[in-house]
Amino acid sequence: MWFKNLKLFRLSTEGTYARETLEKQLQAHAFVSQASAKEPNLGWVPPRQGQDALVVEVNKQLLFALRVEKKLLPSSVIQTVVRERAADLEAQQGFKPGRKQIKDLKEQVIDELTPRAFSIARDIHIWLDPVNRWFVIDSASTGGAEQVLTFVGKSVHPYPIEPLTLTHSPSAIMTNWMLEQTPATGLSLEQDCQWQTSGQQGGSVRYVRHDITPEEIERHIKAGHQCNRLGLTWQDRISFVLTDEFDIKRLQALDILDEQDGGASLDAQEKLDADFALMTAEVIPMLNTLLEAVNSPNGDEK
């Protein structure tokens, strides 16, 4: 269970995060498929397939998952049926349906077609670290993270999540790392980066697998650009991209998965636990280092 994209938040110091307490709260909002649901249907599901527990605990780290189910009902299908119904109604009443009649027809068509529409579901995994106060959502999109935050508010009391407090701009930190070619201790620069100008009309320049020269860096800075995406490696074990929103993108283990003893003999549940334990052990010090870097008095942490 390795996350690919990390949306980062902090845990409130006021909450209690015992697995049993969280399990009980999530069970009250467990996922139930709804054939007639028009809006996305949300609920908590077990991270381990074939088990009922909604919360997995490994080395004091908690893992749970939110399922988001949506109906596939293309607007083109709805419009086609509405036009057919409108033509029938016009023939019956002798004049074209008005705006309100069309609206009522559309709502009727949606009600009739929704139960027969195909459903798609995706699971968004959440990692809760009570020790270091991290709340991490495996989502590349702001929308997916917002769904999790909203449903956590519905399920968990008191609300456990706080926004990150950052003393310095991640863009300013990354720009300085690029300028000095010396990121925080444990981190090394990779060949991917993106430079963004400020303002609504600002453009961007992206480098992929390209060794950017000191002259190019200085030219970007003089032009008012800042680095808003930067490829990094943590202790030669994890690669990722840090963004100006302090999101982690494209998190990837390098060779450390091969270091697990007996991995081939593990069943699916044991493999999930082993991967989750390894990911959290490796990523926690990386996140702590990044947070220290943006919150240090000098805007860096070496």
In a domain, 302, yes or no: no
In a domain, 217, yes or no: yes
8, two tokens: 């980062």
Residues 211 and 256 in one domain: yes
Domain interval for residue 270: 170-295
Q: Which tens digits make up the pLDDT trace of 165-200?
A: 999 999 999 999 999 999 999 999 999 999 998 765
Residues 201 and 253 in one domain: yes
Average pLDDT, the chain: 88
Q: Are β-strands 134-138 and 118-129 bridged in parallel, bridged antiparallel, or unpaired?
A: antiparallel
Q: Which tens digits make up the pLDDT trace of 222-265?
A: 988 999 999 999 999 999 999 999 999 999 998 776 665 555 67
d(CA 35, CA 22): 28
- Residue 37 above 70 pLDDT? no
d(CA 301, CA 283): 17
In a domain, 63, yes or no: yes
Q: What total of structural domains would you count in the chain? A: 3
In a domain, 262, yes or no: yes
Residues 25 and 123 in one domain: yes
Q: What angle do CA 100, 105, 107 make, to 5 degrees?
A: 95
Using DSSP's 3-state secondary structure scheme, residue 66 falls into strand
Residues 178 and 203 in one domain: yes
- Residue 71 above 60 pLDDT? yes
d(CA 205, CA 99): 48
Please say whether the beta carbons of 163 and 9 come within 8 A.
yes
Of 53-57, 58-62, 93-97, 153-157, the one with minimum mean pLDDT is 93-97
User: What is the model's pLDDT at position 300?
Assistant: 60
User: What is the model's pLDDT at position 257?
Assistant: 63
d(CA 91, CA 85): 10
User: What is the model's pLDDT at position 256?
Assistant: 72
Residues 107 and 192 in one domain: no
H/E element, 10: strand 6-11
Residues 271 and 203 in one domain: yes
User: What is the model's pLDDT at position 183?
Assistant: 94
Residues above pLDDT 70, as percent of the chain: 92
Whether the full predicted model's pTM is greater than 0.85, yes or no, is no
User: What is the model's pLDDT at position 70?
Assistant: 84
Of 58-72, 131-145, 167-181, 258-272, the one with minimum mean pLDDT is 258-272
Residues 46 and 31 in one domain: yes
In a domain, 1, yes or no: no
In a domain, 37, yes or no: yes
Q: CA distances (Å), 26 to each of 3, 22, 46, 60, 66, in order?
A: 21, 6, 10, 18, 10
Q: How many CB atoms lie within 10 A of CB 193?
A: 26
Q: For residue 115, is the peptide bond before it cis, meaning its omega torsion is within 30 degrees of 0?
A: no
Q: What is the DSSP letter of 114?
A: G
- Comparison of pLDDT for 257 and 289, the residue scoring more: 289
Most confident range, picked from 25-39, 43-57, 191-205: 43-57
In a domain, 301, yes or no: no
Q: Which tens digits make up the pLDDT trace of 3-15?
A: 999 999 999 987 7
